[in-house]
């Protein structure tokens, strides 16, 4: 196959941006995606089969058959996980990746999120660490992501944020009923509520119209294309340059290394199952934390017997996501207005600064709920089934509010992605295996966050409340998965350098959430996007025609 | 794709799908637990399951689980996504019948409503895993999307007071008054 300047693996949040930035800089790019490109006809609103409620499977991949993973439980027992199960830690497999169907909360991390170890010290047994880059390094690229992808919202209500050069390009969507109930309550508690930043059009932007405020948002593709992902922003721009070719249905088997220890391209199964080789000057891995780590570990050769980038056994470690906790409040008046996306109001008062806790997280009201989401969220003491349960659904479905948030996980070196010695996918490639857990302090922070959510609901007038807390057996990574190819200055303790370049393979990059040293107390996507712009910028600046300037 | 069942009529699957598209008028003609040609269940199994599902979601002024098509939902999925649960259903229903005959000398579906409720508690206790699976699938069928055979005519959504068909494209709030604090 014809050699190209760059092959980018994965057309998600990061891969789409990298492809666009490189193609616009004049590099020839092949963008490989294992899933397909969905169309408007795939936007069906199925409460049981979408990317969030997966009881009948994932709407946007991967398919249930032929894509297993393995997870090791607390007793050390290995179990198979299927894509519709929580333990699978699925994100998505399609053009756009998670951004086709996400809720689209587009947060900047706070400056402290980049120096967690300096701020708190590392709890014993944790691998809490500082990033080698700062909020200030990323700020221009956060800005670029907000304007190129398109973010609505308004941070002006909160003092808990990093400095920013300008406002978001779009105002927030008009507030719904829950905002009106929760906002004064938060103020009475001395908190600083504000409008959630969302990669969603509130006004016409980028050639597409605004949100039509339907009930089916997070987990679904947007029927009116008002949700901004890589599939409707950067990827079309990349293709329009004429420098980028997108190949869907292509599963990369391994990254190929030459005898000098440099990447020379990839081998992949095309959409007809044929093994192909794509030679390239530069290889960029953007498969998201689980699949990127798996691919590096599966790319073995004489020079790299344990996989690429894995000379010091770092690939796959510090696996993390978010620990979600919160509370449900039940009111003696209607709280439900049937206006999507539902999540409108947040506080970041509790992300940092609580004595005794290493961080915290943002709290926000939940996305608009579908009835199926509420069946096990009735007030404490409600029967789990029967007439009383049915009547509770009728009484409370429109009289409840859910507040929750992503507690920043404290990573461990033992919480990791490896490759299973036995299980293979339908292409015969060894599959990802999950071992270990987050640091136990994570759960203490999560419990505190649940109490805070409950207090907010009580102040807002809830007559019953119940906390949502739990302790997981494995790392809860899911769609917020991160951390498996840590960014750092020390090759013994990280996989990539501050420019997302693998330490000992200078033409191999990992650009996605894998490089997150810690994952903030916020939804990670805007940071993934900012890093993609930042790392692409560095790559383009060192590009010298057919290779990188050393 | 048009397929015909043995009797030559449009298959139940298509009929249910048509009901969803056509709304209330067609939906009322959908087959119920008593006379459907099932994809997986025997008619007897379907009746037994209906008895259990109808304790999980009984009728009040809104339909019960089976009246809303929950048994159809489960049956369809056992031929599709829930294929791996086939044995659990077959064996679980047999055990439930055994429990019923043991304590009341009657088939579960032949018991009076009050006795069926008692039996549901007993099944929950004696066959915890099976009951939990049925409970979960019943809720999916009743509160999930009508396209899968349950929640017939979106009846549970109407029960909860949700607009059906949904109203889309509303601007209920004035953008100019957006809270910009």
pLDDT in tens, B88-106: 999 999 999 999 999 999 9
Partner-chain contact A371 B162, CB within 8 Å: yes
B1 at the A interface (CB within 8 A)? no
Of B60, B157, B175, the CB nearest to A390: B60
Asked if A387's CB is within 8 angstroms of B58's CB, the reply is yes
Q: What is the mean pLDDT of each run of 10 residues along chain A (550 residues)?
A: 96 98 97 92 89 96 96 96 97 98 98 98 98 98 98 97 97 94 98 98 94 93 94 98 98 97 98 98 98 98 97 98 98 95 96 97 96 96 98 97 98 98 98 97 98 98 96 94 98 98 97 98 98 98 75
Question: Cβ–Cβ contacts within 10 Å for residue A121, how many?
Answer: 11
Helix (H, G, I), strand (E, B) or coil at A297: helix
With beta carbons under 8 A apart, name residues in chain A contacting B170.
212-213, 339
Burial (CB count <10 Å: 0-12, 13-18, 19+), residue A384:
middle
Contact criterion met (CB < 8 Å) for A386 and B177: no
Q: Using an 8 Å CB-CB cutoff, list chain B residues near A212.
A: 168-170
**Buried b or exposed e, range A84-99, using 16+ CB within 10 angstroms:** beebbbbbbbbbbbbb
**Residue A226's closest chain B neighbor by CA?**
B169
Contact B166 A214 (CB under 8 A): yes
Q: Under DSSP, is residue B14 helix (H, G, I), strand (E, B) or coil?
A: helix
pLDDT confidence bin for B8, thresholds 50/70/90: very low
Please name the residues in contact with A263: beta carbons below 8 A apart, sequence gap of 6 or more: A255, A256, A257, A280, A282, A283, A308, A505, A507, A508
Residues in chain A closer than 8 A to B55 (CB atoms):
385-386
Position B168 scores a pLDDT of: 72
* CA A24 vs CA A4, A8, A223, A226, A281: distances in Å: 15, 14, 29, 25, 17
- DSSP labels for A347-398? E-TTSS--TT-S----EEEPPPPPHHHHTT-SPTT--SSSHHHHHHHHHHTT
Give how far A47 is from chain B: nearest CA, Å. Answer: 5
Query: Chain A: residue nearest B120 by CA?
Result: A386
The reported pLDDT for the residue numbered B18 is 35
- Element housing B101 (H / E): helix B86-104
Q: What pairs with residue A400 in β-bridges?
A: A330
Å between B117 CA and nearest CA of chain A? 9
Q: Round to the nearest angstrom and report the end-to-end CA distance of chain A.
A: 27
Which residues have C-beta within 8 Å of that of residue A316, sequence separation ≥ 6?
Answer: A293, A297, A416, A417, A418, A484
Contact at CB, A174 and B173, closer than 8 angstroms: yes
State yes or no: pLDDT of B14 exceeds 60.
Answer: no
Rounded CA gap, A355 and A396, in Å?
36
What residues pair up with A70 in beta bridges, in sequence order? A80, A433
Chain B, window 142-181: residues with a beta carbon less than 8 angstroms from a chain A beta carbon: 143-145, 147-148, 156-157, 159-163, 166-175, 177-181
CB distance A409 to A475 below 8 Å: yes
- Please give the interface size between A and B, counted as residue pairs whose CB atoms are below 8 Å apart: 110
The distance from CA B18 to its chain's CA centroid, rounded to whole angstroms, is 17
Q: A371 and B172: CB-CB below 8 Å? A: no
| Per-residue confidence (pLDDT) for residue A549, from 0 to 100 | 57
Q: What is the ipTM of this complex?
A: 0.94
* 8 Å CB contact of A46 and B180: no
Q: In this predicted model, which residue has the larger pLDDT, B177 or A63?
A: A63
- For residue B165, whether the previous peptide bond is cis, meaning omega lies within 30 degrees of 0, is yes
Q: Per the CB < 8 Å rule, is B162 touching A215? A: yes
Our CA-based measurement puts residue B10 at a distance from the nearest CA of chain A, in whole angstroms, of: 24
Q: Residue B172's closest chain A neighbor by CA? A: A339
Chain A positions touching B159 (Cβ under 8 A) are: 393-394
Chain A residues with CB inside 8 Å of B181's CB?
156-157, 194
Question: Does B180 score more than 90 pLDDT?
Answer: no
**Subunit contact B179:A386, Cβ cutoff 8 A:** no
Mark yes or no for CB contact A171/B181 under 8 Å: no
Least CB–CB distance from B57: residue in A45, A55, A390: A390
Q: Residue B106: what are its φ and ψ, rounded to 5°? A: -145, 160
Q: What is the 3-state secondary structure (H, E, C) of A188-216?
A: HCCCCCEEEEECECCCCECCECCCCCCCC
Task: Say what the pLDDT of residue B24 is.
Answer: 35
| Rounded-to-integer distance, Cα A448 and Cα A319, Å | 23
- Alpha-carbon distance A182 to nearest alpha carbon in chain B (angstroms): 13
Q: Give the nearest partner residue to A174 out of B145, B163, B175, using CB atoms.
A: B175
Question: What angle do the packed helices B113-126 and B86-104 form, to 10 degrees?
Answer: 120
Is the pTM higher than 0.90? The answer reads: yes
Work out whether the CA dihedral A91, A94, A95, A101 comes out positive or negative: negative
Distance CA A294, CA A503 (A): 18
**Cα angle A519-A78-A304, degrees, rounded to a multiple of 5:** 65
Report the distance separating Cα A62 and Cα B1, nearest Å. Answer: 25
Q: Which of A404, A50, A400 is nearest to A196 (CA)?
A: A404
For chain B, the first-to-last Cα distance in angstroms comes to 55
**Rounded CA gap, A516 and A114, in Å?**
9
Please give the angle made by the CA atoms of A45, A47 and A49, to the nearest 5 degrees. 85
Contacts with B148 from chain A: Cβ below 8 Å: 48, 56
Instruction: State residue A439's pLDDT score.
Output: 97
Three-class DSSP category at B98? helix
How far off is chain A from B17, nearest CA to CA, in Å? 14
């Amino acid at each position: 196959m014809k050699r190209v300047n760059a092959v980018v693996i994965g057309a998600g949040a990061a891969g789409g941006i990298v492809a666009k930035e490189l193609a616009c800089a004049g590099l020839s790019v092949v963008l490989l995606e294992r899933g397909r490109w969905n169309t408007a006809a795939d936007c069906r609103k199925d409460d049981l089969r979408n990317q969030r409620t997966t009881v009948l499977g994932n709407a946007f991949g991967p398919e249930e058959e032929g894509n297993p993973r393995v997870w090791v439980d607390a007793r050390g027992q290995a179990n198979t996980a299927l894509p519709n199960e929580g333990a699978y830690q699925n994100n998505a497999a399609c053009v756009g990746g998670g951004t086709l169907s996400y809720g689209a909360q587009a947060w900047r991390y706070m400056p402290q999120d980049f120096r967690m170890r300096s701020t708190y010290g590392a709890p014993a047994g944790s691998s809490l660490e500082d990033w080698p880059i700062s909020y200030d390094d990323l700020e221009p690229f956060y800005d670029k992501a907000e304007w190129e992808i398109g973010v609505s919202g308004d941070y002006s209500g909160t003092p808990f944020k990093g400095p920013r050069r300008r406002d978001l390009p779009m105002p927030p969507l008009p507030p719904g009923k829950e905002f009106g109930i929760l906002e004064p309550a938060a103020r009475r508690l001395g908190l600083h509520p504000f409008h959630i930043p969302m990669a969603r059009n509130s006004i016409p932007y980028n050639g597409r119209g605004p949100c039509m405020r339907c009930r089916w948002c997070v987990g679904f593709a947007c029927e009116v294309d008002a949700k901004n992902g890589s599939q409707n922003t950067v990827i079309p721009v990349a293709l329009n340059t004429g420098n980028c070719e997108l190949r869907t249905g292509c599963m990369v088997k391994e990254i190929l290394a030459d005898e000098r220890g440099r990447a020379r391209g990839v081998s992949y199964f095309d959409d007809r199952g044929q093994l192909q080789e794509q030679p390239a000057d530069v290889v960029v891995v953007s498969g998201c934390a689980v699949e990127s780590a798996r691919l590096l570990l599966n790319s073995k050769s004489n020079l790299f017997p344990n996989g690429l980038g894995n000379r010091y056994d770092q690939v796959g470690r510090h696996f993390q996501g978010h620990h979600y906790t919160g509370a449900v409040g039940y009111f003696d008046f209607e709280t439900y207005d049937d206006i999507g996306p539902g999540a409108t109001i947040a506080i970041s008062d509790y992300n940092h600064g609580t004595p005794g806790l290493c961080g915290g997280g943002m709290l926000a009201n939940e996305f608009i709920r579908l009835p199926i989401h509420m069946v096990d969220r009735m007030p404490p003491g409600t029967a789990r089934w029967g007439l009383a349960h049915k009547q509770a659904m009728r009484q409370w479905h429109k009289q409840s509010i859910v507040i929750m948030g992503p507690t920043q996980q404290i990573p461990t070196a033992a919480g990791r992605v490896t490759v299973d010695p036995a299980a293979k996918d339908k292409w015969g490639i060894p599959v990802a295996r999950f071992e270990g857990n987050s640091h136990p302090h994570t759960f203490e922070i999560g419990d505190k966050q649940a109490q805070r959510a409950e207090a907010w609901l009580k102040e807002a007038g809830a007559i019953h409340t119940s906390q949502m807390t739990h302790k997981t057996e494995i790392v809860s990574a899911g769609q917020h998965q991160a951390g498996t190819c840590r960014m750092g200055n020390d090759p013994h303790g990280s996989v990539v350098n501050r420019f997302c370049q693998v330490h000992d393979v200078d033409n191999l990059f990992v650009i996605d959430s894998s490089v997150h040293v810690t994952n903030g107390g916020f939804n990670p996507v805007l940071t993934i996007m900012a890093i993609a712009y930042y790392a692409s910028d560095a790559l383009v600046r060192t590009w010298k025609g057919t290779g990188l300037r050393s | 794709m048009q397929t015909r069942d043995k009797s030559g009529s449009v298959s139940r699957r298509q009929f249910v799908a048509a009901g969803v598209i056509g709304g209330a008028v067609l939906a009322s003609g959908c087959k119920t637990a008593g006379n459907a040609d099932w994809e997986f269940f025997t008619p007897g199994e379907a009746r037994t399951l209906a008895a259990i599902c109808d304790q999980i979601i009984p009728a009040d002024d809104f339909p019960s689980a089976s009246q809303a098509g929950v048994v159809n939902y489960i049956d369809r999925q056992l031929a599709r996504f829930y294929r791996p649960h086939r044995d659990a259903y077959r064996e679980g229903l047999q055990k439930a019948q055994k429990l019923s005959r043991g304590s009341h000398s009657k088939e579960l579906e032949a018991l009076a409503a009050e006795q069926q409720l008692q039996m549901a508690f007993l099944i929950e206790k004696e066959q915890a895993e099976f009951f939990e699976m049925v409970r979960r699938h019943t809720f999916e069928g009743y509160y999930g999307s009508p396209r899968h055979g349950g929640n017939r005519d979106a009846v549970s959504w109407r029960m909860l007071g949700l607009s059906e068909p949904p109203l889309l494209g509303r601007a209920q709030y004035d953008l100019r008054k957006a809270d910009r604090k």
